[in-house]
Amino acid sequence: MSNANHTNRTLQARNPRTGEMDYSFEVTDEKEIISVVADLRKNQPAWSAMSLQERAEILSDWADAVSSSDELLQALVKDTGRYFISSAELGRLSTMVKDWLKIGETIFAEQIAKQSSAPTVTYKHQLVPFEVVGVIGPWNFPFLITLIDLVPALMAGSAVVVKPSEITPRFIAPLQKILQQVPALNAVCRFIQGDGKTGQDLIKHVDALCFTGSVKTGKIVYQTGAENFIPIYAELGGKDPVIITENADPKDTAKIVLRASVQATGQACQSIERVYIHSSIAETFTSELVRLSEEVEINYPDVHEGHIGPLIFDKQADIIQSHLKDAEEKGAEILCGGLIEQHGGGLWILPTVLKNVDHSMLVMKDETFGPIIPIMTYTDVNDAIELANDTQYGLSAAVLAGDRVEAERIAMHLDAGAISIQDCGITAYVFDGEKNWFKYSGTGASRMGQMGMVRFFRKKVLYTQSGETQGINAMGEQKPS
């Protein structure tokens, strides 16, 4: 598509609570992207020249303004149809800044001169931030997941341009207002708006890119990144399993699994989407899980009540329905839930528990992204491990066992980047520790731990010779003795 056709294009966004297309916005064309990136490049050296502490103080001012903005909160609520999680997303920024300051201090403290293998040569590293980092965000946690990439990149000294999802664009305008209140940050942090074409245009002009989204879109992102020879840090889909052993408490594990599968209406990458439970406790577990599931309420008509919000992206309802239909046709039994409900134009689905499932079914193979809990039983834990690993994904997983030692022994054999032990979905709120993505769940350096910031640096090494230097004669040919 040419720039001329791309200019002034507008998109509409659906309200997940009403189903109405009640918001429209103008797409940022490639010409404007080029201008934004050029402006950021001009401003980035001054930002990078600041101390880590100075950058943290500026980001803290921004965090204070974000946490107190009711306009921003209400926009995020309209984007996602939920209040509690939206409020938590805004509140997380302040903590993130403090956490990355501590991590950054450790990273920079390590850049001291060290003795090399040559007696007269020392070396030290210089951390050179990418000038402009691009971030393409998702719709399920539109602000929080953007922050996971945005904050450490800014703390590292990079300038950042963000393209949030076109499914959840309302929060951008109030966020830009807040950025303008912090001029030093506004100079190096910009938001653009658009769809997949906009994202592709962005990749062409930045020095590194962070992407969160589907495997299908991720492949396009990687291809465009390769054509422009830039690093891509991507978190893609997941199909997280939990293995529950015969020594686990079936009622306690039911409570854990329900929360981990259903929170955020299952619209989280680390949601539990597959359950493998020992046959000896399966009946008690399943009965308790169904009981707890039937107590879950939707947050309609009052967004401040209930447990789960609507499906943010209406097309996700089609995927969920297709998975459930496929499972039933192949012999699965739905014990509760299972219906897409329409209230006030929005789409909701209550927790849905299935049994008699197997790996021929979509619900056990493909990412569902809804509060769907399919249960398989096993008698040999090695079979459970094999089934848990029988997936194209490797984002995260969980083990619930009688004790930590048993759980860790199983966890060591799971092909995933982060394993929650004696709980599920710990990566939803703990960002310590480094993890990599396995299989199709992503590539690149960890978002967590030190690598979450180090990935935004290019590492330069400085070698210093303190001894006598040599001339060309030292390299002269010699006759063998």
- pLDDT (0 to 100) of residue 1: 39
Count other Cβ atoms within 10 Å, centred on residue 334: 17
Domain boundary among 390, 412, 428: 428
Query: In this structure, what token pair is assigned to residue 464?
Result: 């210093």
Same domain, 279 and 229: no
In the chain, the number of structural domains is 2
Same domain, 250 and 213: no
Instruction: Tell me which residue of 365, 401, 44, 110 sits closest to 246, measured CA to CA.
Output: 401
Domain boundary among 209, 236, 263: 236
Q: What is the DSSP string of 60-114?
A: HHHHHHHHT-HHHHHHHHHHHS-SHHHHHHHHHHHHHHHHHHHHHHHHHHT---E
Same domain, 229 and 250: no
β-strand partners of 75 = none
For residue 301, cis peptide bond before it (omega within 30 degrees of 0): yes
Is 439 part of a structural domain of the chain?
Answer: no
- pLDDT (0 to 100) of residue 3: 44
On whether the CB atoms of residues 316 and 367 are closer than 8 A, the answer is no
Sequence-distant (≥ 6) Cβ neighbours of residue 285 within 8 angstroms: 244, 250, 251, 253, 254, 277, 375
Same domain, 190 and 166: yes
Q: Give, in degrees to the nearest 5, the angle at Cα 219 between 214 and 223.
A: 145
- What is the rounded CA–CA span in Å between residue 433 and residue 227? 32
- pLDDT (0 to 100) of residue 2: 40
- What is the rounded CA–CA span in Å between residue 213 and residue 146? 12
Sequence-distant (≥ 6) Cβ neighbours of residue 458 within 8 angstroms: 127, 128, 129, 130
- pLDDT (0 to 100) of residue 288: 99
Alpha carbon separation from 47 to 210, 221, 460 (Å, rounded) = 20, 28, 19
Instruction: Tell me which residue of 241, 262, 441 sits closest to 357, measured CA to CA.
Output: 241
- What is the rounded CA–CA span in Å between residue 178 and residue 463? 44
Count other Cβ atoms within 10 Å, centred on residue 165: 23
- What is the rounded CA–CA span in Å between residue 407 and residue 356? 25
- What is the rounded CA–CA span in Å between residue 130 and residue 403? 45
Same domain, 168 and 308: no
On whether the CB atoms of residues 112 and 186 are closer than 8 A, the answer is no
Whether the CA torsion 143, 146, 151, 157 is positive or negative: it is negative
Same domain, 188 and 317: no
- pLDDT (0 to 100) of residue 238: 96
- Beta strands per DSSP E along 100-250: 114-115, 121-129, 132-136, 159-163, 189-191, 208-212, 232-235, 240-244
What stretch of H or E contains 330?
none
Same domain, 272 and 226: no
Is 411 part of a structural domain of the chain?
Answer: yes
Instruction: Tell me which residue of 432, 421, 359, 364 sits closest to 396, measured CA to CA.
Output: 421
Same domain, 244 and 365: yes
Give the model confidence (pLDDT) of 144-153 as tens digits. Answer: 999 999 999 9
Q: Beta strands 333-336 and 352-355: pairing type?
A: antiparallel
- pLDDT (0 to 100) of residue 5: 47
194: left (phi over 0), alpha (psi -120 to 50) or beta: left
199: left (phi over 0), alpha (psi -120 to 50) or beta: alpha
CATH of the domain at 174: 3.40.605.10
Is 469 part of a structural domain of the chain?
Answer: no
CATH of the domain at 401: 3.40.309.10
Instruction: Tell me which residue of 379, 371, 420 sits closest to 400, measured CA to CA.
Output: 420
State which amino acid sits at residue 302: D
Q: Is this prediction's pTM over 0.75?
A: yes
328: domain range? 240-428
- pLDDT (0 to 100) of residue 228: 95
Is 478 part of a structural domain of the chain?
Answer: no
Same domain, 308 and 174: no
Alpha carbon separation from 281 to 274, 277, 286, 422 (Å, rounded) = 16, 7, 9, 16
Is 468 part of a structural domain of the chain?
Answer: no
> What phi and psi, each to the nearest 5 degrees, are found at residue 189?
-140, 120
Same domain, 289 and 158: no
- What is the rounded CA–CA span in Å between residue 150 and residue 168? 17
Domain boundary among 218, 236, 254: 236
Q: What is the DSSP letter of 131?
A: S
> What phi and psi, each to the nearest 5 degrees, are found at residue 186?
-60, -25
Same domain, 225 and 256: no
- What is the rounded CA–CA span in Å between residue 148 and residue 280? 41
Is 20 part of a structural domain of the chain?
Answer: yes
Is 416 part of a structural domain of the chain?
Answer: yes
| 481 residues of the chain, pLDDT tens digit each | 344 444 579 999 999 999 999 999 999 999 999 999 999 999 999 999 999 999 999 999 999 999 999 999 999 999 999 999 999 999 999 999 999 999 999 998 877 788 888 899 999 999 999 999 999 999 999 999 999 999 999 999 999 999 999 999 999 999 999 999 999 999 999 999 999 999 999 999 999 999 999 999 999 999 999 999 999 999 999 999 999 999 999 999 999 999 999 999 999 999 999 999 999 999 999 999 999 999 999 999 999 999 999 999 999 999 999 999 999 999 999 999 999 999 999 999 999 999 999 999 999 999 999 999 999 999 999 999 999 999 999 999 999 999 999 999 999 999 999 999 999 999 888 878 888 999 999 998 888 889 999 999 999 999 999 998 889 988 888 888 7
On whether the CB atoms of residues 320 and 276 are closer than 8 A, the answer is no
Is 357 part of a structural domain of the chain?
Answer: yes
Instruction: Tell me which residue of 369, 339, 366 sits closest to 352, measured CA to CA.
Output: 339
- pLDDT (0 to 100) of residue 480: 86
Same domain, 223 and 79: yes
On whether the CB atoms of residues 436 and 417 are closer than 8 A, the answer is yes
